[in-house]
Each structure stands twice: as C-alpha cells, then as structure tokens.
Amino acid sequence: MFKNVNGINMYYEEKGNGIPLVFIHGLGENADSWKYQIDAFSKDFRTIAMDLRGHHRSDDGDDFITMEIYADDVIGLMDKLKIDKAHFVGLSMGGLICQEMTKKYQDRMISMTLSDAAGFYPEPMCTSGLEERLDRIDTKEMSEIGEAIGKAACKANVDKKILDEAIKMFQLNRQKPYRQATFSTLKADYRDIHKDIKIPTYITVGELDPVTPIEFSVYLKEHIKNSRMKIVPDASHLSKMDNYSEYNKALYDFLISFK
C-alpha cells in the first residue's frame, strides 16, 4: 500500500489489530526485512512497516536525506493512518530515527526499542571509515555492495535462505539515496539528547554484532535513564532476521509488559 507523505509516495504494510507497533528498518533495508516480526506480532498488535524514502518501493524525494526527514516521514505516515501513539522498534539506522523522533515527537511514542543501534558513531567510523564507505558506493555496483553487506550483517552460520534474502534486499538499493543515507547515518550523534528521553526504552543487540557491537548498546543503557538491555544470543547485526526466534522472544518480553 502507498500513502503520500511529505511529498513522496511511501510504501507501507499493515497487519493485525490492537495497539500500533511501528517497525523502522535499517540502512539499505526495507519493510520486507520485518516479515518475521510481522508474522509473529500481528496476532497481538496493529503492525506497520514501511520502506523509508529512498528505499525500494518508496520515492527518493528531492531533499538530501537526513535522520530528521526520516523522523518526519514516520510521523507523517502515522498521521495518514490516524495513529496517535505507538510502540516503535528500530534496527540500526532505524534506532537512530527513533532517537531523532524523541526530539519533537516523544509524546507520540509509547516506547521505543533500539536494536543493534548506536547513539553515535566514534572515530574512525564517522570519519575515515565513512569516507571509505562513500568511495565504495561511488565506485562499485550495488549488486557487489549488497552482497558484501548481506554477508557482513549476518552471522557466519546463518541459514542460506536468510542470507539470500539479506543479500537481495541490499542489492535493491539505488546509489544516490543510499549514499545520502549512509552519510547521515554515520554522522548522527544523539549524545546530547539522551538525558531528555523519558519514554520506556528497550535496547537489544546481537551477541555477535560486529557493526554496532555490544559496547554501543551498553553506552545507550548507561545514558538513557528509563532503559533496559537484552543481548540476543547467537545473532549478529541483522538479529531480527538471522535469529528471529530469539529476537522476537526478547521483544515480546518487553512489549507484553504494556498489556
């Protein structure tokens, strides 16, 4: 389904009834990456997942992509769907978007779950590391980049079906918006707002995550007051996919406390 949100056609999927539960994907992903959660949580919640602007079926838009634009788009979709408040779950870049949303939209958030996410990216990730990533985007085909990212984001012993899904998902990206989103992701820094976050916050991280390792989540746990943390066993950066059963169990344990 599509809605016109802030001047773009945004693709979204909606399933189930109950308290709204909004899933926000990571850099280079799309709504399909949440299918293992939608299947599980739509039994108890009204689940919504979207393709963020510049990703897969959604338009790119004319503006340079930033975390603020993404946050405005997510809330814009909520407005179109007449949703006042929701639980939000964001993985990786989606976790940055959740943190961005707390600046202006905290009153729209029942809770947020930050999965395999960072509050900021330290050097050299945000400097020379970013330059290397942008250079790869500028010089290589998305088919090659997508394969490399899919393999790096999943655990070594991941089921081949899941790995193939991840690789194909990342290969769908378009160079220009993917480059913009990469820049804005690695430059995001929310250290100055963590003290202002009042909503219940759940932090999950894959035990094997090399992209946003456990110490990134520990930092979030130590600086967001109303938060708790769970390490998802035998999972890597794409914990929602490469060990979705354990990820879903951890997320359900948090969300059920609101029932």
The domain spans of the chain are 2-258
Q: Considering only residues 134 and 226, tell me which one the structure prediction assigns the higher pLDDT.
A: 134
- Across the range 136-153, mean pLDDT stands at 97
**In this predicted model, what pLDDT tens digit does every residue of 56-68 receive, in sequence order?**
999 999 999 999 9
- pLDDT (tens digit per residue) in 199-254: 999 999 999 999 999 999 999 999 999 899 999 999 999 999 999 999 999 999 99
Q: Is the pLDDT of residue 26 over 80?
A: yes
In sequence order, which residues have a C-beta less than 8 Å from that of residue 106 and are 6 or more positions away? Answer: 197, 198, 199
Rounded distance between C-alpha atoms, residue 21 and residue 6, angstroms: 21
Which one is the CATH code of 2-258: 3.40.50.1820, 3.30.420.40, 1.10.600.10, 1.10.287.110?
A: 3.40.50.1820
Mean pLDDT of 76-80: 98
pLDDT band at 160 (very low <50, low <70, confident <90, very high): very high
Rounded to whole angstroms, how far apart are CA atoms 123 and 136? Answer: 19
Do residues 109 and 83 lie in contact, with contact meaning Cβ atoms separated by under 8 Å?
Answer: no
Query: Does pLDDT of 146 surpass 90?
Result: yes
Relative to beta strand 227-232, strand 20-24 is unpaired
Condensed to tens digits (0 to 9), the pLDDT of residues 81-132 reads: 999 999 999 999 999 999 999 999 999 999 999 999 999 999 999 999 999 9
Q: What angle do helix axes 175-187 and 128-139 make, rounded to 10 degrees?
A: 180
CA dist., res. 26 & res. 115, Å (int): 10
Q: How much of the chain, in percent, has pLDDT values that exceed 70?
A: 100
Per-residue pLDDT at 209: 98
Q: Omega into 124 within 30° of 0, i.e. cis? A: yes
What one-letter code names the amino acid at 152? Answer: A
Q: Residue 68: is it exposed, middle or buried by C-beta count within 10 angstroms (0-12/13-18/19+)?
A: middle
This prediction's pTM: 0.98
State how far the Cα of 247 lies from the Cα of 232, in Å rounded to an integer: 6
Token digits of residue 133: 């990533």
Q: Is the pLDDT of residue 259 over 80?
A: no
Pairing of strands 2-5, 8-15: antiparallel
Buried b (16+ CB within 10 A) or exposed e, 160-188: eebbebbbebbbbbeeebbbbbbbbbbeb
> HEC string of the chain?
CEEEECCEEEEEEEECCCCEEEEECCCCCCHHHHHHHHHHHCCCCEEEEECCCCCCCCCCCCCCCCHHHHHHHHHHHHHHCCCCCEEEEEECHHHHHHHHHHHHCHHHEEEEEEECCCCECCCCCCCHHHHHHHHHHHHCCHHHHHHHHHHHHCCCCCCHHHHHHHHHHHHCCCHHHHHHHHHHHHHCECCCCHHHCCCCEEEEEECCCCCCCHHHHHHHHHHCCCEEEEEECCCCCCHHHHCHHHHHHHHHHHHHHHC
